[in-house]
Chains A and B, each alone.
Chain A
Amino acid sequence: MRSEWLSIISTSFVALIFTLFPHNEWYQQYAPQWLLLTVLYWCIQEPTRVGLIYAWFLGLVLDVGTVGLLGANALLFTLSAALVLGIRQMLFVTGPMQQALFIAGLSIVFLLLSLWMQGGIENGVTVLNYLARALSNLIAWPVMLLMFYLIRQRLS
């Protein structure tokens, strides 16, 4: 029980560090959305502990951390978590690649909505460029599953 909370909070913290990481423009544009992936992972694995409120709070922290519109990421995090929790029984039994594909699809919608809220949609190229993060989410998901599996094994 205690170790579960420890791993949830520590992984979220590390994900936040990775999100606020170095001021490299390239990294900031194409890095996977670590915090979103972490929240969704815990929603699938530990739905009794991580739910909408946790997702909402982390979204708010991300908003402040990235100096965006306060509440924008919080809203999208809550909706993503609600969607994932709704079809959790399906996601729990599918393989990592199917999960990754679903998460990548979800993050495309997430990114489009987020770009729309920021008023950044100007031409097709910028949008496609912005959506490249979904591809890195797709690649990052299986890697993250493995890492988290190892962390949970170690902690429990």
Chain B
Amino acid sequence: MALFESHRPGITKLLILVLLSVLFMALDRAGSIWALRITTGIGSVTDGISRLVQAPAQWGQNLSASFQDNLKKTDTITQLRQENLLLKGQMQQFFDLQNEVNHLKKLLHGQDSVVPNVLLARLIAVNDSPEQQSFTINRGINDGVKPGQPVIDGEGIVGQILRSSLSGAVVVEVDSRRHALSVSLGDTGFVGILNGTGKRNTLTMDRIPERYPIKVGDLLTTTGLDGVFPKGYPVARVSQIHDDKSQAFINITATPVANLNQVTEVLVLTDPPDAPPPPNRATEAATTQSQPLLNLINAGKPQDPLALPLLLPPGFKPLPDAATARPAANGKPPHAQ
């Protein structure tokens, strides 16, 4: 009988499985393509389960919505219609401005910016762990969602896609401990790395030179330098300033502007407009653009170290500007996993 047989596992089998697990961990930490393939494969099943489990809850919501007061519904519709009209009106002006900007940009660079493609996605599961805050959305590979694409809500940046499978995708939030992105600080022009802390709604930015006038409530916006998030999206507001008198630096704590506590629907930017072109295309562009023209373009940007030697004597050390440009140049791109 089963009771009297020993079923001690073989040591070889155990060792092989342990080694395999350790190998997977190493591959995952190194961000290998194989780890990504495995997570995509199994993720298609688990995301499918999450979707399956979430479906009844969605039906319940729809059902309760259909039983809602008719009067209230008409009210909401009227309100939404007015809001829509207002937004459309503003958009007309926006398109006009967009044309104008594109025209001016063409004169300068020879390329115009594109309005990003956005994809509406609904949250289907939350998977928080000490390591990272993340949630699953109901859009996957088939909708064009790829790892690294930015995710926003109505207010600002929520996070970026960590992995995407056939039945869903996982979004890692900006306040995760392993998340970082490049931001510029309010009107000061300082560019630095904003790190997640692993605590809800808390982001930090360290070692900002003291001479920058920072106030509580200043807005941090994306710079586009990290190649993931397009330029100009709001990320967070400064909530605390830690001024250590013994050092010439300030550390700040910021709160994300996006409503991370109650995420229900988010927008995925499936085609980030400011993402840099592939490396070979970039080098092509650099070689085809004539040097004087490049200097002319860069002359308008004071934080660009390239432009400075032209305007200043050769012995002059452009200290402040170099300091501002350095964190951006050395900053690691935002990554997760």
Contact = CB atoms under 8 A, between A and B. Distances in A.
19 contacts: A20-B49, A20-B125, A23-B125, A23-B126, A48-B7, A51-B13, A52-B14, A53-B17, A56-B20, A67-B132, A69-B131, A70-B28, A71-B23, A71-B24, A74-B17, A75-B18, A78-B18, A115-B130, A119-B177
Interface string A104-119: 0000000000010011
Given A17-B53, A23-B125, A64 B9 contact: no
A20 B50 contact: yes
Contact of A71 (B25, B128, B131): B25
Contact of B129 (A22, A61, A67, A93): A67
Interface in A20-67: 20-23, 25, 28, 47-48, 51-53, 56, 59-61, 64-67
Interface stretch (B37-45, B104-112, B275-283): B37-45
| Interface of chain A, main secondary structure | helix
B129 A66 contact: yes
A16 interface: yes
Specify which of A23, A47, A59, A86 lies most central, judged by the most chain B CB atoms within 10 Å of its CB: A23
Contacts of B130: 115, 118-120, 126, 130
Nearest to A56: B17
Contact of A52 (B17, B38, B52, B132): B17
B97 interface: no
B25 A69 contact: yes
A79 B28 CA distance: 20
Contacts of A102: none
Interface residues of B, number: 49
A135 interface: no
Given A60-B24, A67-B170, A71-B24, A86 B8 contact: yes
B127 interface: yes
Nearest to A79: B18
B131 A68 contact: yes
A64 B27 CA distance: 14
Given A56-B17, A66-B127, A89-B3, 10 more contacts: A23-B135, A59-B21, A60-B24, A64-B38, A69-B29, A69-B131, A71-B21, A74-B21, A78-B21, A89-B6
Interface string A87-113: 011001100000000000000000000
* Chain A: number of interface residues, binned into ranges: 35 or more
A114 B33 CA distance: 24
3 shortest interchain CB distances as A-B pairs: A120-B130, A71-B24, A47-B7
Contacts of A64: 38-39, 42-43, 46
A21 to B, nearest CB: 6
B194 interface: no
Contacts of A144: none
A72 interface: yes
A65 B46 CA distance: 5
Contacts of A85: 7-9
A20 B126 CA distance: 9
Interface in B175-232: 177
Contact of A22 (B14, B21, B25, B57): B57
A93 B1 CA distance: 13
A140 interface: no
A26 B2 CA distance: 40
A151 B316 CA distance: 82
Interface string B117-143: 000000101111111101110000000
A118 B50 CA distance: 23
Contacts of B45: 61
A55 to B, nearest CB: 8
A82 interface: yes
A20 B9 contact: no
